[in-house]
Amino acid sequence: MRLLLVEDDAMIGEAIRLGLRREGFTVDWVRDARAAEGVLRTEPFELMLLDLGLPGRNGLELLKAERQRGLAIPVLIITARDAVSDRVQGLDAGADDYLIKPFDLDELAARLRALLRRRAGRSAAGIEHLGVTLDPASHRVTRDGADVALSPREFALLQLLMERPGTLLSRAQIEERLYGWGEEVESNAVEVHIHGLRKKLGADFILNVRGVGYRVRPAS
Ligand code: CA
């Protein structure tokens, strides 16, 4: 899951980035509204974490403008301001949830998972498909009831595919959703992870449409 973090405080930003990375999120971090605006137009983020008090244009103005422009991803506001009116304004401007600083990283991660789940139209915490289950909170995967050990990248890739059972994703689309800025991507990394997943989940669980992309096998 690739997230955009908009936060001007270096210490808070770094703590969030590291904490969420441990939870399996890929976090790209910008420090002001102008930079956020630029990357939201070019990168496929699944969610935005937005600080309200930013240098220059504040987070609320950025959010209003981006929603008006059609930004559809969930937005969670993180703010030191604890006035009720700020939170109300944020939600009315198009935020989906908020947390007040200081907050617990476990709670942040759980709220992000809830937002992503809701966006995918699921109410259950886990995903199940053809005997394979994936739990984003515990990072547990099972096949026919037995635990399957996956690397963090394999897990992220499997989640990406299982959340869109009918959708073909090209190698480039997978790469840009799995890797953040400055992360080295080996040219065959996606193939290697797909190969690993097939070995562990069965060769026919993930289909490769030659020259087009990958998807999980449809239910029938
Ligand atoms: Ca701030």
Ligand 1 center to residue 10 CA distance, Å? 9
Per-residue confidence at 142, pLDDT binned at 50, 70, 90?
A: very high
User: How large is the average pLDDT for residues 153-166?
Assistant: 92
Distance 112 CA to ligand 1 centre (A): 20
Q: What is the DSSP string of the chain?
A: -EEEEE---HHHHHHHHHHHHHTT-EEEEESSHHHHHHHHHHS--SEEEEES--SSS-HHHHHHHHHHHT--S-EEEEES---HHHHHHHHHTT-SEEEESS--HHHHHHHHHHHHHHHTT--SSSEEETTEEEETTTTEEEETTEEE---HHHHHHHHHHHTSTT--B-HHHHHHHH--TT----TTHHHHHHHHHHHHH-TTTEEEETTTEEEEPP--
Q: What value does the mean pLDDT take over residues 175-203?
A: 91
State the pLDDT at residue 121. 83
111 Cα: distance to centroid of ligand 1 (angstroms): 20
| Cα 54 to ligand 1 centre (Å) | 5
* Domains annotated on the chain, with CATH: 2-120 (3.40.50.2300), 127-216 (1.10.10.10)
Asked if the model's pLDDT at residue 75 lies above 90, the reply is yes
Q: Is the pLDDT of residue 220 over 80?
A: no
Distance CA 87, CA 103 (A): 15
Res 81: pLDDT: 67
Q: Look at strands 47-51 and 26-30 and give their pairing.
A: unpaired
88 Cβ neighbours under 8 A, 6+ residues apart: none
- pLDDT tens digits, one per residue of 24-62: 899 999 999 999 999 999 999 999 999 999 999 999 999
Compute, in angstroms, the gap from residue 15 CA to the centroid of ligand 1: 14
pLDDT recorded at residue 122: 82
- What residues have CB less than 8 Å from 45, skipping those under 6 apart? 2, 3, 4, 28, 39, 73
pTM: 0.86
Residue 69 reports pLDDT greater than 70: yes
Cα-to-centroid distance, 79 and ligand 1 (Å): 7
CA of 16 to the centre of ligand 1 (A): 13
Task: Give residue 2 CA to ligand 1 midpoint distance, Å.
Answer: 21
Centroid of ligand 1 to alpha carbon of 183 (angstroms): 26
Quote the ligand 1 centre to 87 CA distance (angstroms): 15
Confidence grade of residue 5 (pLDDT, cut at 50, 70, 90): very high
Give distance in angstroms: CA of 214 to centre of ligand 1.
40
**80-95 pLDDT tens trace:** 866 788 888 999 999 9
Q: Is the pLDDT of residue 186 over 90?
A: no
Query: Quick check: 173 pLDDT over 90?
Result: yes
CB 32 within 8 A of CB 57: yes
Does the N-terminal peptide bond of residue 102 adopt cis geometry, omega within 30 degrees of 0?
Answer: yes
What's the CA-to-centroid distance between 116 and ligand 1, angstroms? 24
The alpha carbon of 26 and the centre of ligand 1 are apart by a number of angstroms equal to: 21
User: Taking 90 as the threshold, does the pLDDT of residue 169 lie above it?
Assistant: yes
Q: What is the mean pLDDT of residues 133-144?
A: 95
- Token pair belonging to 27: 């976090």
In this predicted model, which residue has the larger pLDDT, 166 or 77? Answer: 77
Residues 92-136 have pLDDT tens digits of 999 999 999 889 999 999 999 999 998 888 888 899 999 999 999
